[in-house]
Chains A and B, each alone.
Chain A
Amino acid sequence: KQEVTQIPAALSVPEGENLVLNCSFTDSAIYNLQWFRQDPGKGLTSLLLIQSSQREQTSGRLNASLDKSSGRSTLYIAASQPGDSATYLCARMDSNSGYALNFGKGTSLLVTP
C-alpha cells in the first residue's frame, strides 16, 4: 500500500506567522493529491486538490504544491489566524486503488493569539 507521511505531527505558531505543512508519498504514479482540514470531532473540509498534471493550487491564504518526482506536497498557510487551528490531512488518490484516497496521519496545528 502506498504510504503518505506528514511532518510535523504537531505545530504551534503565533498568530500572523506563515507556515508550511509537509506531505510525502511513495510512488510518483498518483492521480491527484488533496488537502483537507478536520476540526476536533468533525468531518472533513476539502481545501485544495492538485491533479497529477498540475504543480500548485491556490485558494485565499492557502497554497498547495505538488512535486511528483520527489514525492512531496506542501501546504502553505499565509498570515495564520487562530481560526486556522485544526488538523490538516494530506491524501493521495491512485487509479490502481479504485480512486480511493489514502490519508496521512495529519498535522495538528495550533495558532495562538
Chain B
Amino acid sequence: GAVVSQHPSWVICKSGTSVKIECRSLDFQATTMFWYRQFPKQSLMLMATSNEGSKATYEQGVEKDKFLINHASLTLSTLTVTSAHPEDSSFYICSAPDFVGGPLHFGNGTRLTVT
C-alpha cells in the first residue's frame, strides 16, 4: 500500500529558530500533499495544500511567510516553521493521495515543541 514517511517524529527547538519537516511519498508520486496541524485535544486543521512545481495554497489565517512549503519533486514536500514561537508548538502531519480524489495516506506526524 501507499506509504507516506514524515520526519522528524518529534523536535524541540528554541524560540526564534526555524524547523524543517519532511514528508515523502515512498512508493507513489504525489502531485499534491496536504499539511495539517493539530493542537492538544483539537481536531486536525488543514494548513495548506502543497502542489508539485507550483506555489502552495494556504488556508485562511495561516501565514505563508511563517510556514514555508516547498514541493520540489513528486515525492517530497517540506514544511519549514520559521522563527518559531511557543504558540507554534503543535502536532504537524502531512498526507497525500496516490491519485486525484483518492484516499489520503498520512505520515506519522511531527510533534514540535518550541521552548
Which residues of B25-49 are within 8 A (CB) of A? 32, 34, 36, 42-46, 49
Category for how many chain B residues contact A: 20 to 34
Question: Which of A34, A100, A105, A106 is close to B34, meaning CB atoms less than 8 Å apart?
Answer: A100
Render A69-113 as a binary contact track against B, CB cut-off 8 A, 1 for contact. 000000000000000000001010101001111111110000000
Q: Identify which of B32, B108, B111 contacts A99 (C-beta below 8 A).
A: B32
List, in ascending order, chain A residues with CB within 8 A of B108's CB.
Answer: 42-43
- Count of A-B contacts with CB under 8 A? 50
Q: Is A44 an interface residue (CB 8 A)?
A: yes
Contact-residue size bin, chain A (C-beta under 8 Å from the other chain): 20 to 34
Closest to A46 in B: B103
With contacts A100-B49, A101-B34 known, is A43 near B93, CB below 8 A?
A: yes
Give, as a whole number of angstroms, the nearest-CB distance from B113 to chain A: 12
List B residues at the A interface (Cβ < 8 Å).
32, 34, 36, 42-46, 49, 57, 93, 95, 97, 100-101, 103-104, 106-109, 111
9 A-B pairs with CB atoms under 8 Å apart are A31-B101, A42-B108, A43-B93, A46-B103, A89-B43, A93-B101, A98-B49, A103-B44, A106-B43
